[in-house]
Amino acid sequence: MTRTRPEPAGPVTLKQVADHAGVSISTASNALTGSRSVSPASVQRVLQSAAALGYRRNEVARTLRTGLRNTVGVIVPDVTNPFWGGMIRTIERQAALAGFHVALTNTEFDATRETSALAGLVSRVDGIVLFSTRPTAATLQPLLDMGIPIVACDEVIDVPGLGGVYSDNVDGARTAAHHLVDSGGTVFGMLEGPEALSTASARRQGFREGLRDAGVPESAVHSVKAEYSFEGGREGIRRLLAAHPDVDAVFASTDNQAIGAMLEVLNAGRAVPDDLLVCGFDDISWSARLSPPLTTVRQDAEGMATAAIGMLLEMVTTGAAPRTEVFPVSLVTRESTQRTLAPSPVTIT
Query: Which range in 24-32, 85-93, 173-181, 183-191 contacts its own copies by CB under 8 A?
Result: 85-93
Q: Which residue number, 19 or 209, has a Cβ lying nearer to DNA? A: 19
Task: Please work out the total of residues on this chain that contact DNA, with binding judged by CB under 7 A.
Answer: 30
Helices (H), the chain: 14-21, 25-33, 40-53, 59-66, 82-97, 111-121, 137-145, 169-182, 198-213, 230-243, 255-267, 301-318
Q: What is the C-alpha to C-alpha distance for residues 268 and 73, in angstroms, rounded to an integer?
A: 44
238 belongs to the binding site for its own copies (CB under 8 A): no
119 belongs to the binding site for its own copies (CB under 8 A): yes
Min CB(302)–its own copies separation in Å: 11
Report 218-247 residues binding DNA (CB under 7 A). none
DSSP string, 93-119: HHHHHTT-EEEEEE-TT-HHHHHHHHH
Report 62-101 residues binding DNA (CB under 7 A). 62, 64-66
11 belongs to the binding site for DNA (CB under 7 A): yes
DSSP string, 150-205: EEEESS----TT-EEEEE-HHHHHHHHHHHHHHTT--SEEEEE--TT-HHHHHHHH
77 DSSP assignment: S
From its own copies, DNA, none, interface partner of 38 (C-beta below 5 to 8 A by class): DNA
Min CB(2)–its own copies separation in Å: 7
332 belongs to the binding site for its own copies (CB under 8 A): no
44 belongs to the binding site for DNA (CB under 7 A): no
| Residues 316, 319, 324, 330, Cα dihedral to 10° | -50
Q: What is the C-alpha to C-alpha distance for residues 192 and 201, in angstroms, rounded to an integer?
A: 8
Q: What is the C-alpha to C-alpha distance for residues 16 and 11, in angstroms, rounded to an integer?
A: 10
Secondary structure class of 221 (helix, strand, coil): strand
**Residues at the site binding its own copies, with contacts judged by CB under 8 A:** 2-6, 8-9, 11, 54, 56-61, 63-64, 69, 71, 74, 78-82, 85-86, 88-89, 92-93, 96, 101-106, 108, 113, 117, 119-124, 142, 144-147, 149, 161, 230, 259, 263, 266, 285-286, 289-291, 315, 318-321
**Residues at the site binding DNA, with contacts judged by CB under 7 A:** 10-11, 13-15, 22-27, 29-30, 32-33, 35-39, 41-42, 55, 57-58, 61-62, 64-66
